Amino acid sequence: MCTPQATGSLIAAEYMGIPAVVVTAPAFAVQARITAYNNGVPVARVAVYPRAFMSDTDAQLTETTTKVLIPGIVEALTKPLSPSEADAVAKQIVGESRTTVCSGTIDEVNKFFLQKNWTDGLPIVPPTVDRVEEFLKYTPLSPDETVAVLPIAYRNTTPWTVAVNGVMAGCPPEYMPILIAFVKAMADPKCEIDLGSTHSWIPYAWINGPVGRQLGIDHGQALITEPRNAVLGRAISLMVKNLAGYYIKQDRMGSFGYPVSWVLAEDEAFCRQIGWKPYHVQQGFDLNQNTITVSSSLMWGNNLIPSSADPKIIMDLISWEIVEKQRFSTGSGSAFTYRTLMITPPVARDLSRVYTKETLEADLVKTARRTAFERAFANFYATPGGLPAPTFEENIPKIIKAEDGQAGGLPPWFPSFPGSEQIVTVPVMKPGKTAILVCGDESRNKTQTMPGANYTSKELQLPSNWDAQMARLGYKPLKGFFLEK
């Protein structure tokens, strides 16, 4: 078993008065104890299987379970608890404070913050009281007001603590409404982002509305690496650590690590030119409302380059890319996943001759299919959980029945041959699980698919004196960035 799921079961059992033990691999032992501590179980009993048990043979599993694991479970259930054990876990929990924690040169401050595990290892801007208070001018919330209580540490997140992380990341203070809205989105129960998973989920976000244009959040070439976007991405990474409590090698267990989170904006003006709705309008927001949408992805990069202007061929190519980019690399996990599809303006223009965003998704759902054999093979041999069927041969009809397999309907990138009409395929998409964004290089024909978690959108809250504050910084009034309806 792995945490946090296994730890959640332990916590529930302990609250019911049932002694419980988490069974996990070595790297997850600390995560299990701290997760339990954060949820009110001061000492979690953990039994460790000493290797990656999914890679062991049946003989190794039997021997190691008998000689190592079962004795560990017995000891965990019978060994008396000691106060020192709870103290040892508590020392690993970062406390909350508005006091001055250190002073010194820039190098000394950075060294201190790194030793406290409050940074990502890169140099930070020291969060002095003056800098933090400057951020607080750009939110209507009071400094100690609760914005959210973020799992997994369940810390009380306030505008003050949000601002501290924004300062550290190098954000300008006027980004504060975006940072606050991100925290609110992360706290929403609909935001299903498994940041502790070994599969390296990376939280990211996109901005819609006039504030994004006023602040210059980039929707064009370079996108996430444009400096104004990049500092927002870094702020997300720091908040995930310092506010939510996800620490590398403790609670963030990505097998190959994580890139820095990213933030982008949609090119809403171009959407209007081609008759497409910006994403937030599709979700029921007004065109000139300001929103952030938060999701997470398992990948970034690897573009598709449609070299045809035919909308149907472009749709076929995107379908193919979607089939190749699933929740796990082989498409071995859930049958359907959420995806964000980014389309550069030239490709969006060509597609718009036939499609709206809504009809494009509908045709993608119909077209993006894979053979049932491929799906069953991945699901059996590369499953992230236990084996789904006794044998691979038995898994094929199971997949066909469970996932609405149909004979015929081979996708257009497969060649036709005698008997091909009998090949069974299964869909890889469901309606309503695709976000389509127009963004990226306006001179290039590119699309990019990011499979991941669902989406949560929140409106940005601006203070009543926003225009006055922004004028002080040299910005034009917000209404000058509105789009005509």
Q: Name which of 188, 319, 265 is nearest 438 in CA terms.
A: 265
List, in order, residues 6 or more apart from 189 with CB less than 8 Å away: none
List, in order, residues 6 or more apart from 347 with CB less than 8 Å away: 306, 314, 445, 446, 447
Q: Dump pLDDT digits (tens) for 153-188.
A: 888 999 999 999 999 999 999 999 999 999 999 999
> Structure tokens of 360?
């494009």
Q: What is the mean pLDDT of the chain?
A: 89
> Structure tokens of 482?
């509105």
| 8 Å CB contact between 127 and 168 | yes
Q: Dump pLDDT digits (tens) for 34-63.
A: 566 556 676 667 878 877 766 777 787 787
Out of 82-86, 229-233, 453-457, least confident range: 82-86
Over its C-alpha atoms, the chain yields an Rg (Å, rounded) of 25
CA–CA distance from 41 to each of 4, 28, 77, 82, 85 (Å)? 14, 17, 15, 13, 12
Q: Which residue has the tokens 């929990």?
A: 93
> Structure tokens of 56?
């062991």
Neighbours of 483 (CB within 10 A): 15
CA distance 485 to 483: 6
Q: Dump pLDDT digits (tens) for 471-482.
A: 999 999 999 999
Q: What is the DSSP letter of 331?
A: S
Q: Dump pLDDT digits (tens) for 7-31.
A: 666 667 767 777 887 787 665 666 6
Q: Dump pLDDT digits (tens) for 394-424.
A: 999 999 999 999 998 789 999 988 988 899 9
pLDDT of 3 higher than 60: no
User: Averaging pLDDT over each range in 61-75, 86-100, 399-413, which range is the top one?
Assistant: 399-413
Q: What is the dihedral of CA 36, 37, 41, 46, to 10 degrees?
A: 50
Q: Which amino acid is it at 341?
A: L
List, in order, residues 6 or more apart from 124 with CB less than 8 Å away: 109, 110, 113, 168, 169, 170
Q: Which residue has the tokens 């054999």?
A: 373
